[in-house]
Structure 1
Amino acid sequence: MDMDWKRNSQLLMIIFGIIGIMPLFFGSTNFIMHILIMCLIWSVVASCWDLIMGFAGIFSFGQVAFFVIGSYASAIISAKFSVPPIFAVILAGFVAGFLGVLVGLPCLKLKGAYIALVTFAVHMILEPVLKGDIGRAIGTGGSRGILTIAPMNILGYTFNSSDPVPYFYLMFFLAVASSFIILAVIKSHWGDAFLALKDSEQFATCLGVSAFKYKLIVFALTSFITGMIGGFYAHYVGMLSTRMLGIDLFVTLMVILVIGGVGKFPGAIVGSFITIALNEMLSPLGSYRPIILGAMVIVLVLLLPDGIVGLIQKIMPKKKSGKSLIA
């Protein structure tokens, strides 16, 4: 919260500038390009989680659920209604955003751990719903999942997993747009309202800040973006299963936030590239990987409570200004 809009924007441009030229060096190596695409995907999902938890102070554990909802929604909309994948991805964002509002409504009168319990319950309920009769009726494929999903297609050009560079730049565009939207929200009066409600909801309400309005806004916005990225993921990987709702992804996203710094945007973007690369290095360890990542969360919380970006902000000289700064 020591960096103003200009410095945050410059930092984002530097980060994305470096990321954007990586295909020049690794474009012929599909494995590395796949890792870079996954880094971009999880950077947006983690940034949305950081917005709702780190800035708005709402301890929501439903981010993975909205990602999965968006994934399945895009795949089903594309297959059942013959909607082009690029439009199915956008519609999936609206589906996830609508469900995000529905989940947010009962959370309006709750605080802290109770919101975490409600949103985590959504996460837990989603798997049996997708596997059960309701899921099979709408086209989730039940316990088998969806095995064939149409690849992305834009203006007659069909993306191919054997050439991941076009997928990379499409995801790169989505990541840049999502990140600057999140930054704009943080720096707007919405961001001020989120922080006011986080610090003291009762005092903020006395000043005229509507907890009802802003909590629904943050639930809807983060769910929409997360669902849209989930839709992209579905068309990129070409298949879906409820294994995404396992502990691995949840722990990975938590490690991303801890490494980058909770409430230290764009820490989630930095954390995603470090975490995903580390996750790939630990893949030979199989089932021990989530255990090691979980242990890392504990160690990092103790050693770097504000994450890497928080550490950088402490080292960098603070800009003296009388203006209230958000990030």
Structure 2
Amino acid sequence: MEHKRITVFLAIIWGVVAILPLFFGSTNFIMHILIMCLIWSVVASCWDLIMGFAGIFSFGQVAFFVIGSYSSAIISARLGVPPVFSVFIAGIFTAGLGVLVGLPCLKLKGAYIALVTFAVHMILEPVLKGDIGRALGTGGARGILTIAPMNIFGYTFTSSDPIPYFYLLFLVAVVCSVIILMVIKSHWGTAFLALKDAEEFASCLGVSAFKYKLMVFALTSFLTGMIGGFYAHYVGMLSTRMLGIDLFVTLMIILVIGGVGKFPGAVIGAFITIAVNEMLSPLGSYRPIILGGLVVVLVLALPDGITGLFEKMFSEKKQGLSH
């Protein structure tokens, strides 16, 4: 999709999302779903940037989200830092860890990077539950049960009044989307695609794989960790259950529905997936079966996701007009 078209498409999406509280603001449950959609749209967009555009098969996105969540909660509680600042500090800390994880991945490709990053995911739970985690303030297996709510200029955001929190996270999600869009449109995005499609040839042209891979690890880890901090201060409690397979699968479904490497498909995928997932919650154990079936159908019917379908429709319309 052309950059100008992506910008217009993204503006339309966020314009529609911005007015949703006018229709659903009186229903806290729906507002909660919309807030979760905003949070996961950022996480999924970051994963799409690193995997769909940069071609790095990182499976550590949920781990970075959890690290950001715990970091912001601990920094706020232990050091007395206001949540509005702790979320950004947590993002910087997560970015540092992202770079450390990215360093050994520089000499690896494909499935090996996936294994290394997923190992971070696997290691994180015992660390948070163990003696080291308890010493840091993770609460061990019990988790963190009380987290200070977000407070800006004396106003406290609470989950009982979700509309202000929705617009706060809406602003954060829009800013994150704009940053990702600017990266895609810049020489960074060109370098990512070059390294993804032909790394050896790109390296011969002077494109530094070391530089750009570390940059994408740092940027996506920062944004993911920061939104993880906002999540922690919104829900008010954390546990290692977040590292279960459910969130990981949910993220994969978001990318499949939206289209991998089809930004802003991850944003659309997040709203569809999270909304459907919540509506299917009364079905209990049947929910993952239905979601799994939905993914199979979508992969067969829409291999490039919903965004790919829009691209195809637009190109066909353009060809029809030209004839």
The residue number in structure 2 matching 1:325 is: none
Q: Secondary structure at the match of 2:26?
A: coil
Q: May I ask how many residue pairs the two structures share in their alignment?
A: 318
Say whether residues 1:283 and 2:290 are aligned partners: no
The residue number in structure 1 matching 2:50 is: 52
Of all paired residues, the percent bearing the same amino acid is 81
Instruction: Give the letter for the 2:292 counterpart.
Output: G
The residue number in structure 1 matching 2:231 is: 233
The residue number in structure 1 matching 2:166 is: 168
Q: Which runs of 5+ in 2 are unaligned?
A: 319-323
CA 1:55–1:319 in structure 2 vs 1: closer, same or farther (change >3 Å)?
A: farther
C-alpha distance in 2 between matches for 1:115 and 1:290: 27
What is the TM-score normalised by the length of structure 2? 0.96
CA contact under 8 A between 1:70 and 1:228: conserved in structure 2? Answer: yes
Say whether residues 1:3 and 2:2 are aligned partners: yes
Deviation at 1:22, TM superposition (A): 1.0
Instruction: Give the letter for the 1:112 counterpart.
Output: G
CA contact under 8 A between 1:251 and 1:294: conserved in structure 2? Answer: no
Of 181, 203, 211, which aligns to 2:209? 211
Q: Secondary structure at the match of 1:61?
A: coil
CA contact under 8 A between 1:26 and 1:32: conserved in structure 2? Answer: yes
Deviation at 1:318, TM superposition (A): 7.4
Of 175, 192, 195, which aligns to 2:193? 195
The residue number in structure 2 matching 1:324 is: none
Instruction: Give the letter for the 2:14 counterpart.
Output: F
The residue number in structure 1 matching 2:304 is: 306
CA contact under 8 A between 1:254 and 1:297: conserved in structure 2? Answer: no
Q: Secondary structure at the match of 2:238?
A: coil
- Deviation per CA, 1:102-158: give whole Å up to 9, x if none: 000000000000000000000000000000001000000000000000000001111
Deviation at 1:295, TM superposition (A): 3.7
Q: Secondary structure at the match of 1:317?
A: helix
- Residues 1-327 of structure 1 mapped to structure 2, 5 A cutoff: 2-4=1-3, 6-317=4-315
C-alpha distance in 1 between matches for 2:296 and 2:26: 37
Q: Which runs of 5+ in 1 are unaligned?
A: 321-327
C-alpha distance in 2 between matches for 1:319 and 1:101: 44
C-alpha distance in 2 between matches for 1:109 and 1:288: 42
- Deviation per CA, 1:165-199: give whole Å up to 9, x if none: 11100100000000010000001000000000000
What is the TM-score normalised by the length of structure 1? 0.95
